[in-house]
Structure 1
Amino acid sequence: MFSKRVVPLLALALTLPTAAGCGGAADADSGAETVTVTVGYQSKTINTVTAGTLLRSLGYFERELAARGKQDGTTYKVKWQDYATGAPITAQMTAGKIDIGSMGDFPLLINAARGKELKQPTKLVSVTGYNLRGGLNTVVVAPSSALKSLSDLRGKKVSTSVGSAADGTLVRALQRAGIDPGQGIGKLNQQPSVGASALAAGSVDALSQFVAWPGQLAFQGQAKALYDGAELNLPTFHGVTVREKFAKDHPGVLDAFLAAQRRATDYLRTKPVAAAESVAKETGLPAEVVYLYNGANGIATFDPALRPELIDALKQDVPVLKAAKLVNDVDVDAFVDPAPLKRAVRAPEYPQAPAAKPEVWLKGQSTTRSFDSPKELLKAVKGADVRAAYVPDAVTGTLWFADKAVWVADGADLRAFVTPAGAQAYVARHPGARTVGYADALRLAS
């Protein structure tokens, strides 16, 4: 399935500790009076922010530990280590240098497999953000690209990060399109930033990546969507993994982390604009892009709960990684441990998120406004001082920037789609429907 030439590179990344190693994840000073916990996170993978960027900026974990320290007389210290993907976090965890890490569903399985192989077993203890259809991953092409659908990738060069959730989406999508993921395309194993540069330089034809890269590139006018991962209709998520030994040695620290994660989730869900601004400040990402994924109607739903549908999806991911020879096997049921979350968080899980609505963020405003239809959004946007306008795909529900979406006029109705292929599929099924440009959509909405 995957190009064989990239597998050794991934294996090397997973097994060799990086230069950023902290030299010991949980150590004891002065007779175990000081405990240091090292957290690996991905600042720019913004559907992990409740266990990373946002959590760190809010200081909730440190506060939870400080309160615990007053009770047990221990001094707790937190070290935060930032990475671009999940692979180096796994490398550091299996070396005993990171205690708690957050990563996507495919990397989580590799984390489980490598932890078992290297006798540093890990456990999945919570979820950060998820999308039940798979909308967190997207394949994008250059703005001037003539490619219109995934089928057009046959024989083309595609950049992705092998073993990532975005790569899993690419593999499955190609298979559905009748293209051999290993032989039908030229796959390049690259870090997200490298792949984005390669796309801009024209050295690759497409880029398959996870949140927030596709949205960022589209927002900045450097890419357009070719394939919406939600077309797979398979859940994708990011979660929190912990070294089993650390969890047994310091259960209270893990409890504090999960309690803090829940508090950060509460903050994001009740103050989505403030959270987006905070994450943008910490990462350098545009706040408008952060809000696309993490907003009130964002692509990602935040809930620490280990939902059954997410665990079932994780089990469906195992054969993909086995076929790529990235894992031998993973016992998902043994990897998932719901006990710490139940122990640390007494509140029930959040209700299922409702369908996304069109939404506008006006300049100078600290709140956004939602609408019942794309047409109403367009009426409100015309002539307004807009910071960002968002609209859900008419079929998949994936939120996208209104001015980057592909619009379809169907009688008096106006519908938006993330990709040209999605719009064309709708037009083919609805006689009289036609694609229109954004300017025309604004005019027709008036």
Structure 2
Amino acid sequence: MKRTALAAPAALLLLPLTACGGSAEAGDGKNVTITVGYQSKTINTVTAGTLLRSLGYFERDLNALHDGHTYKVDWQDYATGAPITAQMTAGKIDIGSMGDFPLLINAARGKQLGKPTHLVSITGYNLRGGLNTIVTSPDSKLASLTDLKGKKVSTSIGSAADGTLVRALQRAGIDPDKGVEKLNQQPAVGASALTAGSADALSQFVAWPGLLAFQGKAKALYDGAQLNLPTFHGVTAREDFAGQRPAVLEAFLKAQSEATDYLNTHPVAAAESVAKATGLPAEVVYLYNGAHGISTFDPAVKPQLISALEKDVSVLKSAKLTGDIDVDSFVDDQYLKKALGAEYTQRLAATPPAAASEVWPKGAEQTTAFKTPAELLSYVKKHKDGIRAAYVPDATTGTLWFADKAVWVADGDQLLPFVAPATAKAYVAAHGDARVITYADALGQAS
């Protein structure tokens, strides 16, 4: 077993937010409350939070246990993973969901305080890292990562979005500690800072970049999928809770699996449901959670995701947020295996759906997929007033983006979309006849 050590600054950072002890399971013995911490607006976690709560699957499965207890679920909504971790290690939350970097901090803090937690399932993931995006203001002159040198960049330190920023800057030859002025801000604060001009760029996780782009308040500067490193969100549970009530945890994971199936089978209805619960535009929710969205939902704990988690440790260590973390001991999928049975092996082998262009017509309860972006443009051109949203995958990374916010390139008869200007320019540089064009020109050229 590896030993987990926390650096002194990390120990200060991870001090409990509450001095209260006790168990999250409130009740009189027969009546038991299970407390679930989730992040409603972090829509990559909806199968363990917002959507699962609205469907009522967990409560249904708890009632089916017939173990002599009457269960109640206390759903607690948070903006980030940090307070969920604080409440878990204080014994106030039984099950929580958060992103990959916060999960590592969850593991480190639980180990440090003698209140171990475990990663028990995955909610949504992107194998290339497309869940995180760096954006700038719509009128910004910044066109590539190298332009960020000496600029103010807002992010949430310790988040996966910060990890994307650090790695992207390093690849661009910029020291992430000295080359930019990093502003440690909550996503909403960072979004306001970008709009107000007090930040030159914003590096954030789902769904903030897509939301700001949809609202016309930002444009993409860097697609996290360019890193080609998986990013994901997952479910963590307290070790003592899992040991005391394994059937309850298995009921949660079974319910999460059913919520995943619902999302994958009814993506438009799921997006509308999440939008109603969160106040986010359904078009933005669908960008990430749709049939060909940036996020793939599957509870299986895939090896490539755990491998990525191990690589993430070095980023947190360099930021002095944690010391060494024993990822192998943190990951525990035994409860998911028991909950899903033979289905678990099938889910482990499942792969993300192929990228595709999609149109969401106004008033429609389902979207229409197209084989190529050019075919989508042709449809949009003929139905301009009947389009609710149009989505296209980046020609190099596959990251879905809004068609009218993409950077378009004409290469002979091909019309190719890109999330960020730098990747579009790189394609043009490698293809002599290709050129960047406007969205209006792309529509005009569509047959």
Q: What SS is found at the alignment partner of 2:93? A: coil
Distance in 2, matches of 1:245 and 1:78, equals 18
Q: What SS is found at the alignment partner of 1:128? A: strand
Distance in 1, matches of 2:273 and 2:90, equals 32
Distance in 2, matches of 1:22 and 1:377, equals 56
How far did residue 8 of structure 1 move? 9.7
**1:33 aligned onto 2:27:** no
Q: Which of 144, 151, 168 is matched with 2:146 structurally?
A: 151
Counterparts of 1:18-417 in structure 2, within 5 Å, are: 24-29=23-28, 32-68=29-65, 71-346=66-341, 347-348=343-344, 349-350=346-347, 351-384=350-383, 385-417=386-418
Question: CA separation of 1:371/1:8 partners in 2, compared to 1, >3 Å: closer, same or farther?
Answer: farther
TM-score (norm 1): 0.95
How far did residue 23 of structure 1 move? 7.2
Could you list the per-position Cα deviations for residues 272-319 of structure 1 after superposition, in whole angstroms to 9, with x for gaps in the alignment?
Answer: 000000000000000000000000000000000000000001001111
How far did residue 115 of structure 1 move? 0.2
Q: What SS is found at the alignment partner of 2:58? A: helix
Question: CA separation of 1:241/1:295 partners in 2, compared to 1, >3 Å: closer, same or farther?
Answer: same
| Paired residue type of 1:304 | P
Distance in 2, matches of 1:40 and 1:182, equals 32
Distance in 2, matches of 1:328 and 1:22, equals 26
How far did residue 82 of structure 1 move? 0.8
How far did residue 36 of structure 1 move? 1.3
Distance in 2, matches of 1:292 and 1:229, equals 15
- 1:4 — aligned with what? none
Q: Which runs of 5+ in 1 are unaligned?
A: 1-6
Do the aligned partners of 2:21 and 2:91 also contact (CA within 8 Å) in 1? no
| Paired residue type of 2:49 | G
How far did residue 9 of structure 1 move? 9.7
How far did residue 398 of structure 1 move? 0.1
Question: CA separation of 1:164/1:300 partners in 2, compared to 1, >3 Å: closer, same or farther?
Answer: same
Q: Which runs of 5+ in 2 are unaligned?
A: 1-6
Distance in 1, matches of 2:145 and 2:446, equals 31
Q: What SS is found at the alignment partner of 1:15? A: coil
TM-score (norm 2): 0.95
Could you list the per-position Cα deviations for residues 109-166 of structure 1 after superposition, in whole angstroms to 9, with x for gaps in the alignment?
Answer: 0000000001110000000000000000000000000000011110000100100010
Distance in 2, matches of 1:181 and 1:357, equals 34
Aligned residues: 435
Do the aligned partners of 2:13 and 2:321 also contact (CA within 8 Å) in 1? no
Do the aligned partners of 2:50 and 2:277 also contact (CA within 8 Å) in 1? yes
How far did residue 26 of structure 1 move? 1.3
- 1:429 — aligned with what? 430
Distance in 2, matches of 1:14 and 1:51, equals 24
- 1:3 — aligned with what? none
